[in-house]
Structure 1
Amino acid sequence: MKGSSHLAIGVAAGVGIGLYNQVEPITIGLFAIVGGVAGLFPDLDTNGVASNKITLSKSLLKIPLMVMGICVILYSLFESFMALRIDLQIMGSIIIGGIMILLSSVITQKRMLSFTGVGIVMGGIAIDMSYWIILLGIYIVIASFLPHRSYTHSIIGLSFFAVILYMAQEAMNLEGLLIVGIVGYISHLITDMKCLPMNRRGVKLFAPVWNKEF
C-alpha cells in the first residue's frame, strides 16, 4: 500500500479515537498527527514518504562533499608544487580528499536517514537525557539498515515503538498518546498483509521466530 494511504488511515484512526473519547478539538488534531505519523513509521525501512519527510535530500550532502574533496586534493597538489616535494602531510590530505569524493559517490538516501537518527539521539541526550527521544533515534538508525517489510513490520517493531510511545506519553503527560500511536502502527501492518488484494507481499509479524508472511 502507498504511503499516502497509510497516512490517511493513521490520521482517520487518530481522529476516530479522539471523537470516541470526546476530547477537545486541539487534542483531536494532535491525535490525528500522531496516528498519521505512526501509520507511516514502519516504512522507515524504505525510501518512502516517512523517510523522505524527515531527512534532507542526499544531493544536499553529496555535491558539497564532492566539491570539498576535489578542493582538498587540488590545494594539496598546489602545496606540493610550491614546495617542490610531497611529504606525509600532503599525502594524507590527498587521501582525505579522495575519501570525501568516494563517500559522495556512495552515499544514499537511507544513509541520510541514518544520520538523521544519530542526530535525534544526540538531541535526546542534549535535552536532559530524554530517553524516548534517544530511543526514537535508535529506532530510526536501525530501520535505515533493515530490508523493507522486515522487523519494522513485525511484533518486535511494534513493541519497540510502543515503548517509545509510553515513555513519550509519561514525559509529556499526554493521556491517549500510547493507544493512538499503537493503533496507527497496527493499521499499517494490517493494510500491508498479503490477504488484501493490493499486496503481493505480506508481513512477517513473528520474525525472527516464525518467518511466515501474513
Structure 2
Amino acid sequence: MKGSTHLIIGCAIGMVAAAYYQPFTLKNAVLYMAVSTFSALSADLDGESMITSKLGKITRLLRELVLWTGIFLTAAAVYLYFKLHLFYPEFSSVSVMLFLLGFVTKAGIIRNAMISVFGCCLIYAGWLFNMNWLIGFGLFIAVVPWLKHRGLSHTLWALILWGEIGLGLEHQLQIEGIALVSIVGYLSHLLADTLTPKGVKWFFPIFKKSIKLHL
C-alpha cells in the first residue's frame, strides 16, 4: 500500500478523534493527528520500504520539511528541559513524532543508524524518568529499522506492543483516547497492507504464511 494512503488514513483517524473527544482543544487535536498519523506510518520504519521509490518531488520536499521541523522542535524541547528546567510532554511528543515521520520514507544504513541512536536516547530518557512506555517506544524505534520489510513490525505482536506504548503515553499526557487512536492507526496500516497482493504475515514467526484479502 502506498505511503500516501497510510498517511491519509492516519490523518482521517486523527480528525475523527479530535471531533469525537470533548471538549475540543487545538492542543488535543494536534496530538490526536500526530499520534494517529505516526501510528499509521510507523510500521514502515522497517527495512527497505517501497514507499521511497514512489515519492514525487513535492512529496520529498514535504518530507524534508517535516524532518527538519521535527529536528528543530526536538532541539527546542531539549533546550527547554536542560537550560530552563521546563518539560512539556505534549510538545515533546509531537516533536519526536514529527522527527521520526521525516525518516519513514528514507532508506539506507545511515538512516537506520540515526533512528536506532535516537531510539537508544529514548530508552535512556525512559529509564531516567522511570517511564516504561518510553523505554518500550525507544526499543521499537531502535530495532524496527533493521527488520525485513513487512516482517515483525507488520504482525499482531507489534500491534499489541504499540497498544501498550499508546496506553503509557495516554497515562503520561492524561488525554483520553490517545491509546485507542494509536492502536487504530497502527491497525489501519496492517489492514491496508493485507489488501495488497503481498499481504501481511500477521502471526509471524509462528505462522509464516501471508494473509491476503481480495476485494
- Structures share fold, TM-score greater than 0.5: yes
The match for 2:197 is 200
Secondary structure at the aligned position of 1:192 is classed as: helix
Distance in 2 (CA, whole Å) between partners of 1:180 and 1:107 is 31
| Distance in 1 of aligned mates of 2:158 and 2:142 | 13
- Deviation, 1:19, is 2.0
Measure the CA separation in 2 of the matches of 1:168 and 1:112: 23
Q: Distance in 2 between matches of 1:46 and 1:110?
A: 8
Pair 1:157 & 2:158 matched: yes
* Pair 1:211-2:215 in alignment: no
Report sequence identity in percent.
32
C-alpha change, 1:23 and 1:185, in structure 2 (3 Å) is: farther
Indicate whether 1:20 and 2:20 are aligned. Answer: yes
TM-score when scaled to structure 1? 0.66
Name stretches of at least 5 consecutive residues in structure 1 with no aligned partner.
Answer: 57-105
Please say if residues 153 and 189 of structure 1, whose CA atoms lie closer than 8 Å, have aligned partners that are also in contact: yes
Please list every run of at least 4 consecutive aligned residues from structure 1 whose deviation after the TM superposition is greater than 6 angstroms. 49-56
Larger deviation, residues 30-39 vs 47-56: 47-56
TM-score by length of 2: 0.66
What are the within-5 Å matches in structure 2 for residues 95-110 of structure 1?
A: 107-110=109-112
**C-alpha distance in 2, partners of 1:45/1:107?**
12
| Structure 2: runs of 5 or more not aligned | 53-62, 71-107
Q: How do 1:115-194 residues align onto structure 2 when only pairs under 5 Å count?
A: 115-126=117-128, 128-193=129-194
- Number of residue pairs aligned between Structure 1 and Structure 2: 160
Q: 1:132 to 1:179 in 2, by over 3 A?
A: same
CA distance in 2, matches of 1:150, 1:184: 18
